[in-house]
Structure 1
Amino acid sequence: MKAILDVVLIALNLYWWVIIIQAVLSWLIAFNVVNYRNQIVAQIDTTLRALTEPVLAPIRRRMPNMGAIDISPIVLLLGIILIQQVIIRYIYPNVF
């Protein structure tokens, strides 16, 4: 059971970084720091969106419209922190 919880925590930590990298890349593309016409940038962006959109889309549908500001990644990151803390504080210490 402990090994499974370790894998879940590692997966959540990796997904945390995927969300951060996707957000930073979207800012870089929006401010024209990196060129989206570059195939590598486009492929990275497509991959990151494919990993994050299935989770972010339901959050965006439930959130009020805030104009150009998208805080759904922040909500998702807070959710990941919540899940990690529940696992660490309540489930993990009770594993024998």
Structure 2
Amino acid sequence: MIYQLLRLVLDVAFFVMIVQIIMSWLLNFNVLNYRQPMVRGIWDGLNKLLEPVYRPIRNILPDTRPLDLAPLVAFIILIAVRDIILPGIFFR
């Protein structure tokens, strides 16, 4: 039961990160317009959700402007926890 709940939380976080990554590409290639209220609301909401996750990672990583590697590192950590560490803890 605990495993399934943790897995659900990590799966939701996974899809939220995927949505933010895809949306950032669409914004950068001008497919989406940030001036539209709906796009701005979704983008700001995603950033408010994920910024507490990215901030500690950015503090550890060297400055690589204009490329932000924090989402990639967080994504890899999330996949490792979800697919490797969590099953290893619960299914020994």
Cα distance in 2 for partners of 1:39, 1:6 equals 36
TM-score (norm 1): 0.86
RMSD: 1.2
**CA deviation map 1:4-62 (0-9, x unaligned):** 11011111011011111111112211221111111110111011111100100111121
1:34 equivalent among 20, 32, 35: 32
Query: Where do 5+ consecutive residues of structure 2 fail to align?
Result: none
1:11-90 correspondence to structure 2 within 5 Å: 11-84=9-82, 85-88=84-87, 90=88
CA–CA distance in structure 2, aligned partners of residues 67 and 91 of structure 1: 37
Matches within 5 A, 1:1-20: 3-20=1-18
- Distance in 2 (CA, whole Å) between partners of 1:79 and 1:66 is 19
**Higher Cα Rg, which structure:** 1
Instruction: Give 1:67 shift.
Output: 2.1
Paired-residue identity, % = 33
Cα separation, 1, equivalents of 2:34 and 2:26:
10
Tell me by how many angstroms 1:86 deviates.
Answer: 1.0
Measured in 1, the distance between the counterparts of 2:65 and 2:78 equals 25
Report runs of 4+ in structure 1 exceeding 6 Å deviation: none
Q: How many residues align?
A: 91
